[in-house]
C-alpha cells in the first residue's frame, strides 16, 4: 500500500537510479550540448524508490544520464537519446 502524504509542485525530479553516490557527495551525470557529460553535485529530498526530488544543483529540463553511469567519467562522450513517454 502507498499513501501520498505531500505534493511538491514545480519540483525538479529525476529517476532515483540517476543519482550517484561518492564517499562524500551525491551527483548526477549531466549531458552537455557537446555530447559529453559533466558531474553535477546535487542535494535531494524525498525519494520514493523510482523518482527523487532534486532540491539543489539541477535546473528544470536538464538532461541527466539514467543508464550506464558506471562506465562514465567527467568529460566522457555520450550519445543523447530522449526517453520514450510511458504508455
**What residue ranges define each of the domains in the chain, with the CATH number in brackets?**
12-71 (2.40.420.20)
Give the tens place of pLDDT for each residue, 48-85.
889 999 999 999 889 999 988 989 999 999 988 876 65
Query: Using an 8 Å Cβ cutoff, are 25 and 61 in contact?
Result: no
Distance, in Å, from the CA atom of 80 to the CA atom of 46, rounded to the nearest integer, reads 27
The three grid cell numbers given for residue 59, joined into one nine-digit string? 535546473
Which pTM value belongs to this model?
0.81
**Per-residue pLDDT at 27:** 96
**Per-residue pLDDT at 10:** 73
Give the tens place of pLDDT for each residue, 2-54.
555 566 667 899 999 999 999 999 999 999 999 999 999 999 998 888 999 99
At residue 86, does pLDDT exceed 60? no
C-alpha distance from residue 71 to each of 31, 32, 52, 53, 87 (Å): 14, 17, 22, 25, 30
Amino acid at each position: 500500500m502507498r499513501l501520498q502524504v505531500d505534493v511538491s509542485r514545480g519540483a525538479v525530479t529525476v529517476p532515483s537510479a540517476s543519482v550517484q553516490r561518492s564517499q562524500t557527495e551525491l551527483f548526477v551525470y549531466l549531458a552537455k550540448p557537446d555530447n559529453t557529460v559533466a558531474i553535477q553535485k546535487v542535494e535531494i529530498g524525498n525519494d520514493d524508490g523510482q523518482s527523487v526530488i532534486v532540491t539543489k544543483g539541477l535546473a528544470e529540463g536538464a538532461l541527466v544520464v539514467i543508464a550506464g553511469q558506471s562506465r562514465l567519467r567527467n568529460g566522457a562522450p555520450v550519445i543523447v537519446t530522449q526517453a520514450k513517454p510511458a504508455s
